[in-house]
Amino acid sequence: MGITVVDVTKKFEGFVALEDVSVVIPEGSLTALLGPSGSGKSTLLRVIAGLEEPDRGQVLLGDVDVTHRPARARGVGMVFQHYAAFKHMTVWENVAFGLRIRKRPRAEIAKRVHELLELVQLEGLAKRYPAQLSGGQRQRMALARALAVDPEVLLLDEPFGALDARVRKELRAWLLRLHDEVHVTTIIVTHDQEEAMEVAGQIVLLSHGRVEQVGTPRELYESPASEFVMSFVGPVNRIGDTFVRPRDLTLELAPDGDAREAMVERVVHLGFEVRVELVREDGQHLLAQLTQEEAEALGLERGLIVYVRPSRETVFTR
Amino acid sequence: MIGKWALRLGALGYLAFLLLVPVGLVFYRTFEHSFHPAWAAVTNPQALHALWLTLLIAAIAVPLNTLFGVTLAIALVRHRFPGRELVNAIVDLPLALSPVVVGLSLYLLYGTSGWLSGLADHGIKILFALPGMILATIFVSLPFVVREVVPVLREIGTDQEQAAETLGAAPLTVFRRITLPAIRWAVCYGVVLTTARAIGEFGAVSIVSGRIEGKTETLPLYVQSQFEGFNTTGAFAASVVLALIAATTVMAMRLFRPKGEA
């Protein structure tokens, strides 16, 4: 089911968390709400879930206005950053919770919980308590619990934020596969632009309670609408009023037309990618990204003088 | 090494001198002249009535304070309302206020010239009767459940409750299935403390009860009246009953105390 947010404003004791936010989230999509902390992304998710009521504006699920409907009647599944596991219940009871309070027949509950535990690969741990699980296992349990009630939309609030980098990567890949299988409209809140770009088909970038840009990861990277977007979705060099991605800097050994002289300060090898820190003769620091082959061809090393030219640059009109 | 032993000895000596010796002495004096006089002293009708009254008051005051305590704790932690800080402070008042003052204030309120003295004209007797004693007991034992439950509610946060809500649980279901199981040990601990306080209460009840023998005399009041009447065996025997109830309560406390706490 698609989600439409119209002109939503939400204030907390003088602090404006959301200001006239309008977003359309297509049915079946996986959308990321991306932004730095305090940008309002979690508040927006909680407004959609029904856990916060907006001061102004509307929330529509499909074409039904649910603005004043309590969370329990919205048919959303939610996953929280710190798992929100029911500590006094086993994994099985956690997943069965939504079905049990709906008073579904026992056999149906048993079958559904079994299916879900299989889906999240926790079949063997049904009788364990949350305290006996790892962070990644707890979060998969929370996902199964949210999916148990067949939600119209799935809302994930920084779901991998409390996990270590390796588990986070695994779960991201797993979430993508899950979304391909289940196809439920999903929103994931994250402050990590790499995470958003990796999992989401659409990104809503927020800053200070406002929508900065909505688009595919590629659109945000290739044609950012503002300085903020440009610098948030990837590394960037700022030279006066122009912005250049490190990938768009061309390095040459011989002077060539408008190329500027610069000295290599540091070369960082990250496998296939090589990052080069440069300082221009006027003191401007630059970051360049090259492939390993390119770096080797140039014979880059500390102290080498090169000639730098942006192959593509962006200027924002104010 | 010596410092550690000195510390232990100091702590134990302090406890022994101030607590164990006096209480032990009461036990000793009670059974000094064999078991029978003591048994007779606590099984006479006046003593049995006092015991019954003490338990009755606790049986009414404790559930009421438990209900009120849990409700107030949830209100204080989960809701923002005007005067919240004031309520939070007032809850602690019975801990700081001398019970005699509590008794006196109830006396002033319901007494012959008090604001609510009119109740007596309608046949509702508060002072020198069970209702007044229950009110006094509720007052002095009010803070315990609230104070035990508030920090636990803060610690568990709202995530679990909100997760249950998104899964379709109505507020009452959330309370019954999520909140209550999470705070149950704190509630039990609070109930134990409330019970101990209710059973031991002397000062406030002493004033509002009027101390009518066989009618409004609780066990602590009975101990006092026997002692004043030079019936030391009766006073000591009843004290032992109170001490045994206290010991049971303390054991229950240890049972409910979350692991890892001193």
- Among A18, A20, A25, which residue's Cα sits nearest to residue A60? A25
By the 10 Å C-beta count (0-12 exposed, 13-18 middle, 19+ buried), B113 is classed as: exposed
Residue type at A88 in one-letter notation: H
Give pLDDT tens digits for A53-80. Answer: 999 999 999 999 999 999 999 999 999 9
Query: What does the DSSP 8-state code read for residue A125?
Result: G
Neighbours of A38 (CB within 10 A): 15
Distance (Å) from the alpha carbon of B45 to chain A's nearest alpha carbon: 48
The pLDDT score that the predictor gives to residue B223 is 92
Query: Which residues does chain A have within 8 Å of residue B162's beta carbon, measured at their own beta carbons?
Result: 51, 71, 78, 80, 84
**Contact partners, residue A263, CB within 8 Å, separation at least 6:** A278, A279, A303, A304, A305, A306
CB contact under 8 A, B160 and A84: yes
What is the complex's ipTM, to 2 decimals? Answer: 0.85
Give pLDDT tens digits for B42-62. Answer: 899 999 999 999 999 999 999
CB contact under 8 A, A77 and B170: no
Place B110 in a pLDDT band, splitting at 50, 70 and 90.
Answer: confident
User: For residues B173 and B186, is the Cβ–Cβ distance under 8 A?
Assistant: no
CB contact under 8 A, B166 and A97: no
For the cut 90, the answer to whether the pLDDT of residue A126 exceeds it is yes
What is the rounded CA–CA span in Å between residue B216 and residue B136?
13
For the cut 60, the answer to whether the pLDDT of residue B99 exceeds it is yes
Query: Which residues does chain B have within 8 Å of residue A98's beta carbon, measured at their own beta carbons?
Result: 167-168
User: For residues B226 and B235, is the Cβ–Cβ distance under 8 A?
Assistant: yes
Q: Does B155 touch chain A (CB under 8 A)?
A: no
CB contact under 8 A, B162 and A80: yes
User: For residues A221 and A197, is the Cβ–Cβ distance under 8 A?
Assistant: yes
For the cut 60, the answer to whether the pLDDT of residue A19 exceeds it is yes
Give the 3-state secondary structure of residue B247.
helix
User: For residues A308 and A250, is the Cβ–Cβ distance under 8 A?
Assistant: yes
Best to test chain B binding among A83, A89, A101, A147 (most B CBs inside 10 Å) = A101
The pLDDT score that the predictor gives to residue B170 is 95
The pLDDT score that the predictor gives to residue B262 is 40
Which residues of A have a CB under 8 Å from any CB of B?
Answer: 49-51, 70-74, 76-78, 80, 82-88, 97-98, 101-102, 142, 145-146, 148-149, 155
Place of tokens 């919770």: A97
Query: A74 to chain B: nearest residue by CA?
Result: B166
Overall pTM > 0.90 = no
Place A317 in a pLDDT band, splitting at 50, 70 and 90.
Answer: confident
The pLDDT score that the predictor gives to residue B258 is 60
**Contact partners, residue A169, CB within 8 Å, separation at least 6:** none
CB contact under 8 A, A145 and B168: no
Tokens linked to A159: 């779901």
Tell me which residue in B159, B162, B173 faces A101 most closely, judged by beta carbons: B173
CB contact under 8 A, B167 and A49: no
Beta bridge partners of A279: A263, A285
Best to test chain A binding among B152, B159, B160, B167 (most A CBs inside 10 Å) = B167
Chain pair A-B, CB pairs under 8 angstroms:
62
Place B260 in a pLDDT band, splitting at 50, 70 and 90.
Answer: very low
Distance (Å) from the alpha carbon of A124 to chain B's nearest alpha carbon: 24
The pLDDT score that the predictor gives to residue B4 is 87
Mean pLDDT along residues B134-143: 94
For the cut 80, the answer to whether the pLDDT of residue B66 exceeds it is yes
Residue type at A195 in one-letter notation: E
Tell me which residue in B162, B167, B182 faces A97 most closely, judged by beta carbons: B167
The pLDDT score that the predictor gives to residue A313 is 86
User: For residues B137 and B205, is the Cβ–Cβ distance under 8 A?
Assistant: yes
CB contact under 8 A, A84 and B167: no
The pLDDT score that the predictor gives to residue A259 is 87
For the cut 80, the answer to whether the pLDDT of residue A139 exceeds it is yes
Share of chain B above pLDDT 70, in %: 97
Tell me which residue in B162, B169, B181 faces A84 most closely, judged by beta carbons: B162
Query: Which residues does chain B have within 8 Å of residue A88's beta carbon, measured at their own beta carbons?
Result: 181-182
Give the 3-state secondary structure of residue B46.
helix
Give pLDDT tens digits for B197-233. Answer: 999 999 999 999 988 888 999 999 999 999 999 888 8
Best to test chain B binding among A52, A72, A156, A157 (most B CBs inside 10 Å) = A72
> Distance between alpha carbon A1 and the CA centroid of its chain, in Å?
20
Distance (Å) from the alpha carbon of B187 to chain A's nearest alpha carbon: 16
Q: For B234, what's the count of Cα atoms within 13 Å in the CB-facing half-sphere?
A: 21
What is the rounded CA–CA span in Å between residue A14 and residue A17?
9
The pLDDT score that the predictor gives to residue B261 is 45
Q: Does B109 touch chain A (CB under 8 A)?
A: no
Place A94 in a pLDDT band, splitting at 50, 70 and 90.
Answer: very high
Q: Does B163 touch chain A (CB under 8 A)?
A: yes
Long-range contact set of residues A192-196: C-beta below 8 Å, sequence gap at least 24: A193/A34, A193/A232, A193/A233, A193/A234, A195/A32, A195/A160, A195/A168, A196/A32, A196/A34
Mean pLDDT along residues A139-161: 93
The pLDDT score that the predictor gives to residue B232 is 86
**Contact partners, residue A81, CB within 8 Å, separation at least 6:** A157, A158, A159, A161, A162
